[in-house]
Every structure is written in C-alpha cells, then in structure tokens.
Amino acid sequence: MAQFESQNETKGFYKLSWLQRIGFGSGDLAQNLIFQTTCMYLLFFYTDIYGLDAVDVSVMFTVGNVANVIWDPIVGALIDKHNPTLGKYRAYLVYVGIPLSGFAILCFWNGFAPSLLYAYVTYIAMTLLYTFINVPYGALNSSLTRDTNEIAIRTSVRMFMANCGGLAVGSGLPLLIAYFTDEQVEGLPKDPGAWFTTMTIYALVGLLLLLFCFTQCKERVVMNAEESANVKVSDLWMEFFHNRPLRIIAFFFITAFAMMSIGNAAGAYFMNCNMHGTSEQLSIFMGLGSAPSFIFMPLVPMIKRAIGKKNMFYVFLSIAIIGMAFLYIVAKMDAPSMTLVYVAQFVKSTGVIVATGYMWALVPEVISYGEYKSGKRIAGIVNALTGIFFKAGMTLGSVVAPAILAYVAYNPKSVEQTPFAEEGILWLVCVIPAVLLVLAMFIISRYELTDDVIDKINMEIEKRETADAIN
C-alpha cells in the first residue's frame, strides 16, 4: 500500500499535510479580508461617507469590471507563460500583495472627498491588482495535486478559512468601526477616520496571510518550460469554445457571484433602513453570512461522497432559496422579530456558502479536462476565464444594486426611507438573489464531469506523460 501511494505521489496524485492545506486556505482568507470588504462596504462608504452619487458609483464599478474583462486574459497568459524564481504562481502573492494592500487602504480614505477622479484611480488600481493575486492563486489550486479527494478536502479547508474572512468582514468590521469612533448612532457609524483605520488593519493582516500562503504552497502539476513558452492570450478563447464543462461553470460563476454581489451590497442597507438595527445587530446579521461555514464546510467531503456532487448543489441551492423566502416574509411582518431575521439569514447563508464554496473545486476538474483534450495545462488562462465570469457576475451585482437604489429613490441623508425604497432594498436582499439561484440550479444540471470521469481523465494524462518521457 505504501509503495502504491509512493507511486501515486510521483504521478501527480499528491497528498498535502494539514499545515499545507491551512497555508493554501490562508490565501483565500487574506483575499476576503481585503476584497470582500470592498464588495460588502465600499458602495456604502462611497454613498454615505465619501459623498458620491449612487449612479456615479454604479458607473465606476461597471468601468472597473469591464477593464478587468480585458485585463484577466492578459494576466492569465502572462502567468502561464512565465516561470518566476519564487514559483510559477505563488510568486505573485509576494510581488502583488504589497501594492494590493496599499490601494485597498486608499479606497477607504476620504482625503479628497468627494473627488470622483480619486475614487476611480484607487478603485480601478485595486481591482486590477486583485486580479494579479486572484488568478495565480486560483491556478495554484490546480497545481498542487490531481487527487480529487485531496481537492475536496482542500476546498473545504479553503472555504472554511475564506468564511473566517467573511465573518471578520461581515461581523468584525462594523464592531471595529464602532470601536474607533465616538459617534453614537443607529447602524454603521460614518466616521471617515474609523473606516480608514479599520481597513488599514484588515489590509495589513491580509498581506501577512498572503505571505504565509506563499511559504506553504509548492507547484507540482504544471506545464513544462517548452509548453509555457507557447502560451498565447488567444488560447483563452480556444479553451472556452472547446471545453464545454468550462463554459457551464463559467455561467454558473456569473449567476452565483451576481447573486452574492447583490445580496452583500444590500445587507447594510437592509439592516439600517428596513430593520433599523444597531451596529451590533448589523454585525450579527453580516456575521451569520459566514458562520454556517464553521459547521458545514468540514462536512462537505462526506456530504459529497454520500449524495454526489450535483445533488449537493441542488440541496444547498434549495436551502438558500428557502432562507431568502423566509427572510422576505419576516421582514414584511408588522413587528419583525430580529431573532427570526437571524434564523433566516443563517438558513440562507448555509445554502449559499456550501454551493458557492464547493464550486471552486470544479475549476481543477475543467483544467484537467482541457489538458486531456488539448495537451495543455493552462491553469492561469482557465482561472483568468473564471475570473472574467466571476467579475461579470460582480458587475451585474454592482450595477443592479445602485440602480435599484436610485430607482426607488433611496436617500442616504434620511433616517426613514419610503415604503417603496424599503421594498426595493428587500428585493435586493431576497427576491432577485432567489431568482438567480433558480437559474444557477438549471446551469449546474448540465455539468457532466463526475468524480469517476475526472479520475479516469487524470490517470490517462499521467500515463500519456509517462509514455512521452520514456520516448
């Protein structure tokens, strides 16, 4: 048995230590501390503190995401084509981590408020740099091993830690902002200095975690130097058109991230305007967006083995829809119970966390499928493609949320919003995300790569490479 495992190790089916799994997951924790903060709170910061119009913010977010559609394939081809001394993919965690942290901090500085130009420069720079972290980090995932069970375990660890970051952002950030200010207000304080200090802490901790991820990861399943030299940006579109499973998860990513972007952006508005909650209540509500991960993500490998990959998606997407429906009903009560709001948020988040968390385990699968078909393991380009569709989903979310707020005449200077505005916010939190999840269920139903199919593909690739090496 030991001999068999040793042979498998040499063939790419590597097992990672728990320190290595945690080290890899720390990269996602770091990115959430930095990027999820902007996803969840930057819209609120820009409209209620920095002083920008919601429509201007919507346009800016759209411009940023469109720029990234052009930028992502360039980054993907670049990292696949080159082999830095510090590692093919992990090197960028070091090279880009420092400037990313710096610009994330600057996004939450209002020294030039309400300068739209300053907001554009810092926001666009931050998103472009984030791509130079996120794409190589995603490629790093597929370079560690071909082993599907190891990928499932590592994805669970990764998502567990990612949601630790989500909890720190959703629950911890409002508390820290309240701690650093003397303001006594309902909802989120609007003290610019408190926001800047809080983001500085999050960005610096994120940078340290990126460095830790770098130390614990090593690329083992990558293209050779000759194949790397032949990578072109056009390979991205060839891969997209010839890799059907990739197209399916791409559209799943669009739908899932649009859902999350809309719901996350509206969370603060919902608690402030619909529920008239305190900073502490907002902290609990946002924290419950990540809390279920601590219960369910460690169970994902077992659940997947019991009911299968596709059924797991169906079950947890349905749970999310039920939670959203429950949240809508509770919010429409004459005297809504905050306890029931918390329960609904927990149910909703359970479904969202597992379904959207495990979808990242599908990316190494479609990379292997593409390698099987074309002979090229272009992990950077594939992750650039998923990045494009991830950002397409985020773009939809960043457009829809401000547009709805503008349509319902949301007034950031008013404590009490109109019933129409409150209904619009409720649609952003519950109705629109639920519709998107129904669409996501249909999309994932078309995915055909079972674990058995992927295992056969990976074994065939390793046999092919062994034969080529002998010849």
Of 407, 403, 405, 401, nearest in space to 436 by CA: 401
Average pLDDT, the chain: 86
pLDDT at 221: 79
Give per-residue pLDDT as tens, 34-89. 988 988 889 889 999 999 998 899 889 888 878 887 888 888 888 888 888 898 89
- Check pLDDT > 60 for residue 4: no
- Determine what percent of the chain is predicted with pLDDT higher than 90: 38
pLDDT at 12: 67
Phi-psi region for residue 223, left (φ > 0), alpha (ψ -120 to 50) or beta?
beta
CATH code of the region 23-217+232-470 = 1.20.1250.20
Burial class (CB in 10 A: 0-12, 13-18, 19+), 440: buried
| pLDDT band, residue 139 (cuts 50/70/90) | confident
pLDDT at 409: 87
- Check pLDDT > 50 for residue 2: no
Question: Mean pLDDT across the stretch 375-381?
Answer: 78
Burial class (CB in 10 A: 0-12, 13-18, 19+), 310: middle
**pTM, 2 dp:** 0.75
pLDDT at 361: 84
Centre a 10 Å sphere on the Cβ of residue 305 and count the other Cβ atoms it contains: 13
Tell me which of 86-90, 310-314, 399-403, 435-439 is least confident.
Answer: 399-403
Three-state DSSP at 460 gives helix
Q: Looking at this protein, which amino acid is placed at residue 83?
A: N
Of 379, 137, 387, nearest in space to 239 by CA: 379
Structure tokens at 385: 């493609």
